[in-house]
């Protein structure tokens, strides 16, 4: 699995990939602006501020596949995230994380099982994938908040 090789555009529409993040500790999250879990943006931004100097970044991937909870345009998503939650971490183009249109990045990620042994389709907004600098991936359910000690411990462990 090489999640860094898949082409993906930024939220602003600039083509690219995750290659610039290779060797860093990353938390990839499928996000949505109109979800009961949307307040997790605050915790994700706190993780970004706490650990970015140590080679960590949250990467957000807007997705509208769960009850249409991310209906906005790229501009609306960016404005909402920055003005409502002060998000500074990178956001990428709106993608599909399940089904026939699943982005190749998520085709790779969904093969990873979480601590309960669940692998396969993304269950809801704010499912999290921690990628260690060596490429090892750990999966966390949507209900695992950014402040959850299990997630924080995993991030700190990956950072070394």
How far is residue 43 CA from its own chain's centroid?
13
**Tokens encoding 42:** 């605050």
The domains found in the chain, sorted by start residue, are 19-159 (3.40.30.10)
pTM for this model (two decimals): 0.97
Assign residue 55 a region (left: φ > 0; alpha: ψ between -120 and 50; beta: otherwise): left
* Cβ-contact 87, 45 below 8 angstroms: yes
The pLDDT tens digits of the residues spanning 26-37 come to: 999 999 999 999
3-state secondary structure of 142: coil
* Cβ-contact 123, 18 below 8 angstroms: no
Note if 35 is an active site residue. yes
In 3D space, the residue among 138, 147, 86 whose CA is nearest the CA of residue 111 turns out to be 138
**Tokens encoding 11:** 């939220």
Interstrand relation of 128-131 and 56-62 (parallel, antiparallel or unpaired):
unpaired
CA dihedral 150, 154, 6, 123 (to 10 degrees): -10
User: Residue 9 — pLDDT band, cuts 50, 70, 90?
Assistant: very high
The pLDDT tens digits of the residues spanning 74-120 come to: 999 999 999 999 999 999 999 999 999 999 999 999 999 999 999 99
Q: Which residue shows structure tokens 């956001």?
A: 91
Please report the pLDDT score of residue 53 as a whole number.
97
Q: Which of 6, 17, 35, 42 is catalytic?
A: 35
Taking the C-alpha atoms of residue 28 and residue 128, their distance in angstroms, rounded to an integer, is 6
Task: Calculate mean pLDDT across residues 146-154.
Answer: 98
């Amino acid at each position: 699995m090489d999640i860094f090789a898949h082409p993906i555009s930024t939220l602003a529409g600039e083509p690219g990939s995750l290659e610039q993040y290779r060797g860093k500790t990353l938390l990839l999250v499928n996000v949505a602006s109109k979800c009961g879990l949307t307040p997790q943006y605050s915790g994700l931004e706190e993780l970004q501020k706490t650990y970015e100097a140590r080679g960590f970044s949250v990467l957000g991937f807007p997705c509208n596949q769960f009850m249409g909870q991310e209906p906005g345009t790229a501009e609306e998503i960016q404005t909402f995230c920055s003005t409502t939650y002060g998000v500074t971490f990178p956001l990428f183009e709106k993608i599909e994380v399940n089904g026939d249109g699943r982005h190749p990045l998520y085709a790779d990620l969904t093969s990873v099982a979480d601590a309960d042994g669940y692998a396969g389709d993304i269950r809801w907004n704010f499912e999290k994938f921690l990628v260690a600098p060596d490429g090892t991936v750990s999966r966390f359910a949507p209900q695992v908040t950014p402040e959850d000690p299990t997630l924080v411990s995993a991030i700190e462990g990956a950072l070394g």
